Amino acid sequence: MDQGVTAGPKGTAPADGGALLVVGDVVTDVVARYGGPLASGTDTAAAIRMVPGGAGANVACWAAHWGCRDVRLVGRVGTDAAAWHERELVASGVRPRLVVDPEAPTGTVICLVDARAAAERTFLTDSGASLRLAAEDWSDTWLDGVARLHLSGYLLFSEPGRALVSLLVASARACGVPVSLDPASAGFLGGLGVERFLALAEQVDVLLPSRDEACLLTGVPDPADAAAELSRRVPLVVAKQGADGALVARAGAVCARVPAVPAVPHDTTGAGDAFTGAFLATLLSGAGPEAAAAQGCRAGARAVARVGGRPPAAG
């Protein structure tokens, strides 16, 4: 599936610096927001919605929402929900190229959102078809006209995905296209192994970890020290700090501390994806990393005020 679309509503000035290609996961989110303690063995009242999600897909949608005129997404879905996901992506201003898996279902994530704890969320993840995205699904022609390539860290949690990442980074470097990577999941990083991840991450130009991911990857408890340490391995590190804003680090030092935008959290699902999408769209408009991080914080504040990980669709 590959659709030409118009861009969705804009968060900033148009980003005319070329296309953004995102490669990553497309999943179905089941968001359950509850306001009392979970009652084991019986019922807990909750507001439940099914919405499109996936870290890769969310980033692409937020980048389009934030002004990037040409956002493309490569992902893998099952036959069960392929048409729905395609429609939702197109409605958000993204050009999807979805590989339809004839065997595995679309990935599904159950998002448990605790309304009492700043809308903090816990994920139960069945990655389904998204973990089967592989090198044989890729075509180098998909980099034509691309100014930036962004990779979802969920690609690294399967052997086919890791092989694809190596291929993508090599292809991008051959074309002079900078590559960004979001580690995606502190929980899954522990299973992959820190050194294994860092060996792959050292090939990219921009790393966008969360606070927990940065600390896990370095073994350093202080987020600023962790971001600085990671920037000895990756040229630019932008560490997302949630309500504490963001840190920008280069060459072993934090060079900017970007404040958060105040928000009343309703659902924190996808807030980091919103930051990343707006950050990349702003970089493509010609802004520097500090200004891009400030726009990322704006997008994150908008995201937590909504249920689900996507911006409102165009229209």
Contact by Cβ (8 Å): 309, 303: yes
DSSP H helical segments within 66-117, as ranges?
82-91
What predicted TM-score, i.e. pTM, was given to this entire model? 0.91
Q: Please list the pLDDT of the chain residue by residue as tens digits (315 residues).
A: 433 322 333 333 334 568 999 999 999 999 998 988 888 899 999 999 999 999 999 999 999 999 999 999 999 999 999 999 999 999 999 999 999 999 999 999 999 988 887 777 788 999 999 999 999 999 989 999 999 999 999 899 899 999 999 999 999 999 999 999 999 888 888 888 899 899 888 889 999 999 999 999 999 999 999 999 999 999 999 999 999 999 999 999 999 999 999 988 887 778 999 999 999 999 999 999 999 999 999 999 999 988 888 998 765
Residue 68's nearest CA partner among 148, 139, 180 is 148
Distance, in Å, from the CA atom of 67 to the CA atom of 100, rounded to the nearest integer, reads 28
Q: What is the pLDDT of residue 27?
A: 96
Residue 257's nearest CA partner among 228, 234, 219, 232 is 228
Q: What is the pLDDT of residue 17?
A: 64
**Pairing relationship of beta strands 27-34 and 94-101 according to DSSP bridges:** unpaired
Other C-beta atoms closer than 10 Å to the C-beta of 289 total: 22
Which of helix, strand or coil describes residue 11? coil
How far does the chain reach from its first CA to its final CA, in angstroms? 22
Distance, in Å, from the CA atom of 14 to the CA atom of 65, rounded to the nearest integer, reads 10
Q: What is the pLDDT of residue 296?
A: 98
CA quadruple 139, 142, 148, 150: dihedral sign = negative
Distance, in Å, from the CA atom of 75 to the CA atom of 141, rounded to the nearest integer, reads 16
Q: Would you kindly state where each structural domain of the chain is located, as residue ranges?
A: 19-26+53-105+128-304
CATH C-level class of 19-26+53-105+128-304: alpha beta
Distance, in Å, from the CA atom of 18 to the CA atom of 103, rounded to the nearest integer, reads 35
CA quadruple 228, 233, 238, 241: dihedral sign = negative
